[in-house]
Amino acid sequence: MPARGAGGRTAPARRRAPHPGSNLPRLVSELNLILIGPPGAGKGTQAENLQADFGLPYIATGDMMRAKRQEDSELGREIARVIAAGELVPDDVVCKVLLERVDAEGDDGFLLDGFPRTERQADVLDQALERRGRKLTAVLLIEAADDVIIQRLAGRRVCSNGHVYHVDFNRPKHEGVCDIDGTKLVQRDDDKPETIEKRLAVYHDETEPLVARYEEAGLLRSFDGTRPPEEVHRHIRATLAVLRLEEDL
């Protein structure tokens, strides 16, 4: 991610070809977005749609940590333990891999999912963006109450490439098989009831305070995650289209 001078973007807004299949006009300026919300609110589900709409690099720390836990190392084993317990991976570990990835892929904008999750992570991101003369465009909060989350996560199924389904709300065409890549659908090991409870508690203690922080900064946009997925998507897309137009004025 090259430096762009202090105090905001110095280069003119760059044009990017729309993602194939997107029916949005050939807009426009860099979008630096965060998806935030409780586990199971639908961040990953909406991220798939937003990637298609805006062609943004999708950077999900949950996916990155699940990849890291496969490593045959002490760190890999510790991350596996932490995820299975529903706890958070230490800030330093997550921040390092996140910033490396943003530097490698996020030059024209990014969509972060699952980061930041603590005040410390939010500070690190702010400082990194400021050093590079960049800023966040918006923080997209997807809201859902704990009882909805528990029902959702118990029925979630995922494929090995991270595509997400639900046994009732978002069924694949053929049971147990991913529509997109044909791989087997499985339950995540942190979607057990006791782990879900722990993840919710961690969200309320560690991550929810960031909502007020981003609201005060004027960056927060909230969406009702209990609406059907297509409706949530339409709402987010409309909000982002307006933000982009405003940035271009």
Binding mask 3-32 for ligand AP5 (x = CB under 6 A): ------------------------------
Length of the chain: 249
65 φψ region: left (φ > 0), alpha (ψ -120 to 50), beta (else): alpha
Based on the shown chain and the rule CB under 6 A, indicate whether residue 229 belongs to the binding site for ligand AP5. yes
Based on the shown chain and the rule CB under 6 A, indicate whether residue 88 belongs to the binding site for ligand AP5. yes
DSSP letter for 132, please: T
Based on the shown chain and the rule CB under 6 A, indicate whether residue 221 belongs to the binding site for ligand AP5. no
Is-catalytic flag, 9? Answer: no
Is-catalytic flag, 16? Answer: no
Q: Which of 193, 187, 162, 189 is nearest to 84 (CA)?
A: 189
Is-catalytic flag, 234? Answer: no
Closest residue to ligand AP5 in the complex (CB): 62
Enter the tokens of residue 24: 């949005």
Taking the C-alpha atoms of residue 112 and residue 107, their distance in angstroms, rounded to an integer, is 13
Q: Can you tell me which of 164, 178, 210, 240 binds ligand AP5, judged by CB under 6 A?
A: 164
Q: Phi and psi (nearest 5°) for 92?
A: -60, -40
Based on the shown chain and the rule CB under 6 A, indicate whether residue 112 belongs to the binding site for ligand AP5. no
List of residues 6+ apart from 92 with CB closer than 8 A: none
Is-catalytic flag, 244? Answer: no
The binding site for ligand AP5 (CB under 6 A) comprises: 37, 39-45, 61-62, 65, 82-83, 86-89, 94, 114-115, 117, 121, 152, 155-156, 164-166, 169-170, 190, 199, 225, 227-229, 232
> Catalytic residue positions?
43, 117, 156, 188, 199
